A = this chain, B = another copy of it.
Amino acid sequence: MRLVARPVGVPADECFELAEVDLPDPADGQLLVHNRYISVDPYMRGRMTDAKSYVPPFELGKAMEGGAIGEVVASASPDFAAGDLVIHNLGWRDLALVPAGGARKIEPTPGVSPSAHLGVLGMPGLTAYVGLLDIAEMKPGDTVFISGAAGAVGSVAGQIAKARGAARVVGSAGTPTKVAWLRENGFDAAFDYHDGPVRKLLKEAAPDGIDVYFDNVGGDHLEAAISALKPFGRAALCGAISSYNATEPPAGPNNLSLAVGKRLTLRGFIVTDHGRRMKDYLPEMAGWLREGTVRWQETVVDGLENATGAFRGLLAGENLGKMVVRLNG
């Protein structure tokens, strides 16, 4: 799936092109991988735009990239064999020629879909863990607010917060179904942000204020959180999905000066700086999944031809948990 025009606003069909090309046999050090699951993630919207960012933009006319899980079909590397399940970054395509250095073997876990390595056992899960514990420095007893709480990152962040001893975890989401899911999955309170001003809804859900805010949304959510944060509160800024399709700069929080008197810390982060924490995260999350402390949710769309629609749906909030695209064999 190629990007052929840079989207303005919601990425239209005309921005993408499904192309068929013949792939050569893998050269020395390459693997031919048949992708089973490919990832669509909010950060990809930034790569579709030709702007300076922490990741370079996708090149026009070339296949896009992104997380993928696939099976090695042919290997020209001594470290991999046909049949191996691998995770790599050449998604958005059925078959990929992957440099062996860019692939990592995955051991199949009974009862766990391989797609979990694109979510709870992968980048989004680590994002939740690092953002909550390292960036926002959540402590046991804290009250925690998570926006976009039914998404791939937020749903895990809320459950990690509870597992690590948060006194109260509040989540916001955009549909009644998501709100119900949050209430059934460890969140102490949850609200649909369509039901009123976020500031008011948050005040009702956390009347004594919050210690930690995990921001996936930006905009009025961040503004409400700044008002609700208690002295020495911390906000981890993970993303601002509310503005990803925006064509005008969004209004900033008009109450940011509260950060002075309340001694707030707002800190942005990106997960790729924190890969070394995977070794702490994976065993801890494996335990939580085993005990049922954390429950994992995903929304699966079938077929590469539907991947751009899945991506649009992700930005529109149509997913519950991690959005993945399953490719047929």
Which residues of A pack against B, CB within 8 Å? 46, 53-54, 218, 222-223, 231, 237-240, 243, 249-270, 273
Contact = CB atoms under 8 A, between A and B. Distances in A.
A269 to B, nearest CB: 6
A237 B260 contact: yes
B252 A223 contact: yes
Contacts of A262: 54, 268
Residue in A240, A254, A260 whose Cβ sees the most chain B Cβ within 10 Å: A260
The count of identical subunits is: 2
Contacts of A237: 256-257, 259-260
Contacts of A253: 252-253, 256
7 contacts: A54-B231, A240-B260, A250-B254, A251-B252, A251-B254, A252-B254, A259-B267
- Most chain B Cβ neighbours within 10 Å, of A218, A240, A258, A268: A268
B261 A268 contact: yes
Contacts of A261: 46, 53-54, 268, 270
B251 A260 contact: no
A2 B46 CA distance: 55
Which secondary structure dominates chain A's binding surface?
Answer: loop
A260 B268 contact: yes
Nearest to A236: B260
Contacts of A258: 268
The 10 closest A-B pairs by CB, nearest first: A252-B252, A259-B268, A249-B254, A240-B257, A260-B268, A252-B253, A54-B261, A266-B266, A265-B267, A252-B254
Contacts of A268: 258-265
A48 to B, nearest CB: 15
Given A54-B231, A231-B54, A263 B255 contact: no
Given A223-B252, A237-B260, A252-B255, 13 more contacts: A218-B256, A222-B256, A239-B260, A251-B252, A251-B254, A256-B256, A259-B266, A259-B268, A260-B270, A262-B268, A263-B269, A265-B268, A266-B267
A269 B231 CA distance: 10
A243 B266 CA distance: 20
A265 B263 contact: no
Contacts of A222: 256
Contacts of A260: 237-240, 268-270
A215 to B, nearest CB: 9
A55 to B, nearest CB: 8
A259 B239 CA distance: 9
Contacts of A53: 261
A274 B268 CA distance: 25
A52 to B, nearest CB: 9
Contacts of A249: 254-255
A271 B53 CA distance: 35
Nearest to A226: B252
A256 B256 CA distance: 10
Nearest to A260: B268
A157 to B, nearest CB: 15
